[in-house]
A and B are shown apart, each in its own frame.
Chain A
Amino acid sequence: MRFSVYRYNPDVDAKPYMQEYDIPLEPTDKMLLDALIRLKSHDDTLAFRRSCREGVCGSDAMNINGRNGLACITTVAELGGHVTLRPIPGLPVIRDLIVDMTQFFRAYHSVKPYVINNDPAPETERLQSPEDRLELDGLYECILCACCSTSCPSFWWNPDKFLGPAALLQSYRFIADSRDQATNERLDDLEDPYKLFRCHSIMNCVDVCPKGLNPTRAIGKIKDIMIKRMV
């Protein structure tokens, strides 16, 4: 299999470059991550993140033939013998395919991603109807891989001010939780021309999400609630 891989090591490289490899794969190398590990056994200087290898931990997000995705759930077969790999765009590169995700997590942390409920905790669980619980489907499954935010042009232009699809999806996950009491506070915080309203419904986020989630719809729902609150 032929690879073109983005290489940059600040220790030795003045600037990034693309390196070409031609590496024979074994029949067991079914996923792109297997192929990358095969490649790394030939050249251990190639750096990339990986952990669960089954698409739930969100470590190995990268730009695969121009499209963000997870290496562990991208099959070698669908790539057709040649692949171009770059780090996910829009974030500072630390080395090779590894980016500095500080900005991304700062946005995530800023939405207060936890249930806020000021009532005294009951002895048993807080009750939630199956219908209310259903509201959280399509939201809580996010793995924070950053495929979505780093494919969003609005996030590229204002990564420090626009929260990006991942953080907004999580913001809505708590707005939608029937146990959360801080909806007003959350909406006040998002009522800003940058944080939420840089979203222009480009929908790259929906296109690339490896878990099939829809941040644009969640953002739309936040706007709906804001309007409901205003009128």
Chain B
Amino acid sequence: MVKRVVTGAHYGLRDWLVQRLTAVVMLAFTVVAALRITGAESGYEGWKSVFEPAWMRVALFLFLLSVLYHAWIGVRDIYMDYIQPVSIRLTLHTLTVLALVAYAGWVFELVWSH
């Protein structure tokens, strides 16, 4: 039987680019956060002051979303390489997406509810 190889999903560049852009966001935030943390006093109040300003919350939220999207592409790449059966791959894709969406909800709750 002919095994038809299907390719051409047309999302290669977008994801590759997003993976790199999210990496830049993550890097930038890490630098800013590190600077602020080292400049802050130790203890609860110090930490709170680091993350108190609205712009810092936006940045943190962006950072965490970037982590999630970056992770999605990376994990999917691993599945592409190592998981060949389509059914298992689709199941893993679904579970991964569910987990990441759940994490996103949790992140929202963490950043904006306090």
Interface residues of A (CB under 8 A from B): 153-154, 157-158, 160-161, 188-198, 200, 223, 226-227, 230
Contacts and interface: CB of A to CB of B under 8 A. Distances in A.
B77 to A, nearest CB: 8
Contact of A192 (B3, B10, B77): B10
Given A191-B10, A193-B12, A193-B80, 5 more contacts: A157-B81, A158-B81, A193-B11, A194-B12, A226-B13
A207 B80 CA distance: 24
Contacts of A197: 12-13, 15-16
10 closest Cβ pairs, A-B complex: A197-B12, A157-B81, A193-B12, A160-B5, A226-B13, A192-B12, A194-B7, A192-B7, A197-B16, A191-B10
Describe B's contact surface by its main secondary structure.
helix
Given A197-B15, A227-B17, A192 B81 contact: no
Contact of B12 (A158, A160, A195): A195
Contact of B80 (A160, A198, A226, A230): A198
19 contacts: A153-B81, A157-B80, A157-B82, A158-B81, A160-B3, A161-B7, A190-B12, A191-B11, A191-B12, A192-B11, A193-B15, A194-B9, A194-B12, A194-B80, A196-B12, A197-B15, A198-B81, A227-B17, A230-B13
A192 B15 contact: no
Interface of B: 3, 5, 7-13, 15-17, 77, 80-82
A194 B12 CA distance: 7
Given A161-B7, A192-B7, A192-B8, A223 B81 contact: no
A192 B13 CA distance: 7
Contacts of A193: 9, 11-12, 15, 80
Contacts of A196: 12
